[in-house]
Structure 1
Amino acid sequence: MNATIIDPLQGDFPEVIEEYLEHGIMKCIAFNRRGTLLAAGCSDGSCVIWDFETRGIAKELRDKDCVAAITSVCWSKSGRHILISAADKSLNLWDVMKGDKIYRTTLQQTPLQARLHPGGGSPESTLCLVCPFSSAPMIVNLQTETTTTLPISFSGGTTTGAPPRNKFSDGSAHYTPTAACFNKHGDLVYVGNSIGEILIIDHNKNQVRGVVAVSGGAVIKNIVFSRDGRHLLINSSDRTIRVYENLLPLKDSLKSLNEMIFDNILDEGEMVKSAGAKSLLLFREFQDSITRVHWKAPCFSGDGEWVVGGSASKGEHKIYIWDRAGHLVKILEGPKEALMDLAWHPVHPMVVSVSLTGLVYIWAKDYTENWSAFAPDFKELEENEEYVEREDEFDLMPETEKVKDLEMNEDDEVDITTVEKDSAFSDSDLSQEELRFLPADPFPDVSEQQEKHTASNSKLGDSKNSDSPLSEETGAMNHDSSQIEGMENSGGEDGGMTYLKRRRKPSEKVLELQAQKVRKPLPKAKGGLGKSSKTKSRIGNGIGIEQEQDMNNFGDEFGIDD
């Protein structure tokens, strides 16, 4: 099975590390249903929500009562709630938008994994499935804080606990953690026990409705459904990943399972085994027959076409990808850090993995440049070919475009309100109420440059209104170089320029003509304002000459030649 590696160009799966996320020491991750938000549980008891589009932190959920490491995170179907389990035996349900804690309960055992009921906005969304470290899986109602322990073994029509695999040195029984998960619509719970059995349980009545024996009888460590609910993945301690095909209908699975049992005339034990055989069918087995590694955090791709599993060996960060036919298509090798958790993006061919150091690595496809993609009519040729032009290729209006114009009906109404559903989420009836992105929370950010600029402006204003050296320099025009800078700045502010324009020294003939112009009597203006206007004109001309003479003196004093 692992002898040949399929050409990577045949599949759409990740190949290289594109980026990594860093925030404390992250332990576990989970995407929301759309893949726009990524939740990561940290070792300090906080949960960080990343905006996966911008790769920035959108929100941080921190519980002051919880400082233990987060063991699992789970999104609700609508994306508005998130369930967080921690090592301090706590279970918290959060409102993602408000950042408030809705429910909190404390269990008797440490929860290794917690999953919300896939009921969307129904009252069943307060139900969750918890897999503790040292007891059987249980259904917890967060609203009423009631727990129901699920059976983990079926023998002769009775439900019992799984027999111990071995014993400690003191003779006490050693319990193996049990894996469990909801089906697509949450009316059944699939439990994998320590003796290699898959139990199909009606959690409302707490009854085993079907049993499937796994070949080998090894401990089942992980059990997870594909996104469409048609395949079930089992990870056993015999280093083999098995995929089963779900034979039950996606809707009303419990009703169909009960009909199988009632139609049978055998005893209860045989009926349960017969119902299990009609519910699951072994589809494929995946393993590495050469290295014989154990698998950690196996899962399906978003479209269910690929099966992915991480190596559980210490000091390795390897991710194996198979197709559903059982062929190994890619081995992703990361840094020399143990792999803790991984998740496949719901839509894009991307994988996110968590290392032992707390970093989150984003694996993406290695795209190569293809410039022909920018021209839709361009066709790549492997070798030169003789080109034959069309008859109407260089016409102003080709015949093909004329036909298109005739086919268009301008009277047809164009629908601009209906939104086409994405094929990957066509089963969702909560598209309008689903939380896809978190709004940004703006806050004032005053930089040091703004503070310095404000301080300099205030000082400049104070200097203009007081007897400061700057005001004295601009009024008296002293002979210091610093006084020149003050004159240039003040001139730029008054005249709307950035510097003071220096003029040439006028000649003696120009000065004589200007003097004659001043002595020449001005014509009288019509009306009663002639005198005042004459006075204003003389005052204005006098001020202009004085300023010009001052500028000439200013040029002579500082050595400015013509």
Structure 2
Amino acid sequence: MNVPIVDPLQGDFPETIEEFLQYGSMKCIAFNRRGSLLAAGCANGTCVIWDFETRGIARELHDKDCTAPITSVAWSKYGHHLLASATDKSLTLWHVVNEKKIARITLQQTPLSVRLHPGGPPTPSICLACPLSSAPVLVDLNTGSTTVLPAFVSDNGNPPAPNSRNKFSDGSPPFTPTAATFDKYGDLIYVGNSKGEILIIDSKSIKVHAVVPIPGGTVVKDIVFSRDGRYLLTNSNDRVIRVYYNLLSVKGSGKEIEKISSNNNSYENNYEKLKANGASCLTISCELSDAIAKIPWKAPCFSGDSEWIVGASASKGEHRLCIWNRSGRLVKILEGPKEALIDIAWHPVDPTIVSVSVAGLAYIWAKEHVENWSAFAPDFVELEENEEYVEREDEFDLNAYVEKAEEQLINEDEHVDIETYDKDSTFSDLDDSTTMELIYLAAIPIPDTPDEQPDKCLGSSSKLEDSNHSGSPSSLDAVQNGQAIPPASSPMEVDNSTAEEPAEAANSKRRRRLSAKGLELQQAEKGKKPTTKNKSNGKSPGSNGKQVEPVNGNSSAVDDEATEDDDI
């Protein structure tokens, strides 16, 4: 087996900004299961899908009924559908391949985040939405019906009675923003409330099975599961990210928590029983925070292999990413451009992070690979300076016995199987499914216009530039302000007449430098009389078959005219 060329001791996390993507003003992003497609929601209500392998645009989903900014995007399990929520309180389900809108539902509150049910039929019908100032709701995308999830539990184990004052127009009680997510297979829903608790709710019966109190008792802003379903993290207002280990089985967690709940019947207080159930479901693993600066965090998430946790600084004007390992040790701090960060996503497979700035750009953080040439030759030695090599006496001698031993018999009639392939253990949960997963989309090529101005290039639907440093690109300010960035050209490609024609200077066409006599001829063509050193006798050249006589016997004028003709 070949040795990997990348040094394994470097760490599987990104280190610098590789490039950035631009399409309007992007607000949120999400990878599909394989990481081959990247969906982004824009400020004008458009959803764009990038082919992450080629960095090209594969789909542009426009909804004429929605022009409000997109707040969240979510992929279905098989990748054929995309759900988007907007600030106009709408939920829109798209069919990615056909670019068709399947369903559109309007909620009573603005949804900040949405999640599609990870199981069920190929066409998703249930989603989880977290509104701005109300409890999370389960939404049936087929019928439009909603089910409000319990966000709090009283001492007797039942949801508290709503307060009669400060109600909304529909009579629902006010809530502070809450966070919620499905587990890996959608059997349970984990809800974080403003009291600093995690409620574990059955997704079918909407029954609260367990409560896990969070140390500090502050508002839970984010709650995220790892891809393998073994770890859960919460982001609270006390500026601490907490990582929990899931004690339940990843598959069949609903039945297992029912058994735990039925066995704990010795508690007289139902709330104490729910807390006991929660202790059998989650156990805290580590706490992540900045002990010195006490900075708040935004959009934390796991890496694809659940080995790393990344959190973004929520401080104004900072584009900083902090990466910890699963034991809680800080391993890397990534400094980006001086732009606030609003969303991040870790690639499901590769050590790559995509972050979205407040300016609407998506920065791609990648790894700086250090090549390990000993992977190709085990005896490879890297030299710091030239050394004299002494050839061995038998180094290039032929050894017939060794060559004979290396010969292998090849059966040319043997059948070669090119259809069977090894299953990827990372995505083994789809092996028993008959539904084909959508991995790639055919990108729509955009023809290039030869004489296209830089202004038109900046206004095109796709924008992709390179940035080999960890800061903002040098032309970023001009791109954000909508200004044209003329391509750099060498001094030899600039015409002397560009000072007289500034409008043509922005064009990238190559022009030839004219000589001094060529400039005189150019002025003559414009109606100006060229200046000559000598004058002729007024006779036309070649008239009556006679040669033109130069004045005073001087032939310099004729030679100058011949030289100008040669220049022409």
Shared fold (TM-score, shorter chain, > 0.5): yes
Q: Distance in 1 between matches of 2:351 and 2:397?
A: 43
1:54 is matched with which residue? 54
1:439 is matched with which residue? 442
Task: Report the Cα offset of residue 325 of structure 1.
Answer: 1.7
1:279 is matched with which residue? 281
Helix, strand or coil at the partner of 1:154: coil
Aligned amino acid, residue 149 of structure 1: V
Q: Does 1:75 align with 2:75?
A: yes
Q: Distance in 2 between matches of 1:390 and 1:89?
A: 82
2:247 is matched with which residue? 247
Helix, strand or coil at the partner of 1:436: coil
1:202 is matched with which residue? 202
The verdict on how the C-alpha distance between 1:247 and 1:411 changes in structure 2, with shifts beyond 3 A counting, is: farther
Aligned amino acid, residue 440 of structure 2: F
Q: Distance in 1 between matches of 2:9 and 2:68?
A: 44
Task: Report the Cα offset of residue 209 of structure 1.
Answer: 0.5
1:65 is matched with which residue? 65
2:325 is matched with which residue? 323
Q: Distance in 1 between matches of 2:10 and 2:450?
A: 51
CA contact (8 A) 2:87 2:110 kept: yes
The runs of 5 or more residues in structure 2 that have no matched partner are 1-6, 453-568
2:315 is matched with which residue? 313
Equivalent residues in 2 for 1:414-453, closer than 5 Å: 414-429=416-431, 430=433, 433-441=436-444
Q: Does 1:349 align with 2:348?
A: no
Q: Distance in 2 between matches of 1:222 and 1:387?
A: 65
The verdict on how the C-alpha distance between 1:378 and 1:201 changes in structure 2, with shifts beyond 3 A counting, is: same
Helix, strand or coil at the partner of 2:262: helix
Q: Distance in 2 between matches of 1:10 and 1:323?
A: 13
Which piece of structure 1 moves more, 385-394 or 43-52? 385-394
1:41 is matched with which residue? 41
The verdict on how the C-alpha distance between 1:445 and 1:323 changes in structure 2, with shifts beyond 3 A counting, is: closer
Helix, strand or coil at the partner of 2:381: coil
Q: Distance in 1 between matches of 2:118 and 2:273?
A: 28
1:115 is matched with which residue? 115
Helix, strand or coil at the partner of 2:153: strand
CA contact (8 A) 1:179 1:192 kept: yes
The verdict on how the C-alpha distance between 1:407 and 1:241 changes in structure 2, with shifts beyond 3 A counting, is: farther
Equivalent residues in 2 for 1:172-187, closer than 5 Å: 175-187=175-187
Q: Distance in 2 between matches of 1:136 and 1:436?
A: 34
Aligned amino acid, residue 352 of structure 1: V
Task: Report the Cα offset of residue 385 of structure 1.
Answer: 13
The verdict on how the C-alpha distance between 1:10 and 1:144 changes in structure 2, with shifts beyond 3 A counting, is: same
2:140 is matched with which residue? 141
Q: Distance in 2 between matches of 1:387 and 1:253?
A: 68
Q: Distance in 2 between matches of 1:431 and 1:156?
A: 47
Q: Normalized per residue, which structure has more helix?
A: 1
1:269 is matched with which residue? 271
1:497 is matched with which residue? none
Equivalent residues in 2 for 1:145-544, closer than 5 Å: 145-160=144-159, 175-267=175-267, 268-369=270-371, 375-380=376-381, 394-397=397-400, 399=402, 402-403=404-405, 405=407, 414-429=416-431, 430=433, 433-441=436-444
CA contact (8 A) 2:162 2:173 kept: no
Aligned amino acid, residue 380 of structure 2: K
2:104 is matched with which residue? 104
CA contact (8 A) 1:152 1:162 kept: no
Q: Distance in 1 between matches of 2:395 and 2:415?
A: 32
The verdict on how the C-alpha distance between 1:413 and 1:432 changes in structure 2, with shifts beyond 3 A counting, is: farther
Name the TM-score, length of structure 2 as normaliser: 0.71
Q: Distance in 1 between matches of 2:400 and 2:147?
A: 75
Aligned amino acid, residue 278 of structure 1: S
Helix, strand or coil at the partner of 1:156: coil
Aligned amino acid, residue 154 of structure 1: V
Q: Distance in 2 between matches of 1:443 and 1:291?
A: 47
The verdict on how the C-alpha distance between 1:85 and 1:276 changes in structure 2, with shifts beyond 3 A counting, is: same
CA contact (8 A) 1:339 1:355 kept: yes
The verdict on how the C-alpha distance between 1:405 and 1:44 changes in structure 2, with shifts beyond 3 A counting, is: same
Q: Distance in 1 between matches of 2:379 and 2:161?
A: 64
Q: Distance in 2 between matches of 1:10 and 1:447?
A: 44
1:126 is matched with which residue? 125
Q: Distance in 2 between matches of 1:20 and 1:257?
A: 44
Task: Report the Cα offset of residue 390 of structure 1.
Answer: 12
Helix, strand or coil at the partner of 2:257: helix
Highest relative contact order (Cα 8 Å, sep 6+), 1 or 2?
2
CA contact (8 A) 1:151 1:161 kept: no
The verdict on how the C-alpha distance between 1:263 and 1:382 changes in structure 2, with shifts beyond 3 A counting, is: farther
Task: Report the Cα offset of residue 259 of structure 1.
Answer: 0.7
Instruction: Work out the number of aligned pairs and report it.
Output: 436
The verdict on how the C-alpha distance between 1:378 and 1:181 changes in structure 2, with shifts beyond 3 A counting, is: same
Aligned amino acid, residue 195 of structure 1: K
Say which one has the larger Rg: 1
RMSD: 3.2
Q: Deviations over 1:177-213 (max 9, x none)?
A: 0000000000100001111111100121111001111
Task: Report the Cα offset of residue 405 of structure 1.
Answer: 4.4
The runs of 5 or more residues in structure 1 that have no matched partner are 1-6, 450-562
Task: Report the Cα offset of residue 252 of structure 1.
Answer: 0.6
Task: Report the Cα offset of residue 113 of structure 1.
Answer: 0.5
Q: Distance in 2 between matches of 1:16 and 1:133?
A: 34
Q: Distance in 1 between matches of 2:439 and 2:25?
A: 25
Aligned amino acid, residue 424 of structure 1: T
CA contact (8 A) 1:76 1:120 kept: no
Name the TM-score, length of structure 1 as normaliser: 0.72
CA contact (8 A) 2:154 2:160 kept: no
Helix, strand or coil at the partner of 1:315: coil
1:538 is matched with which residue? none
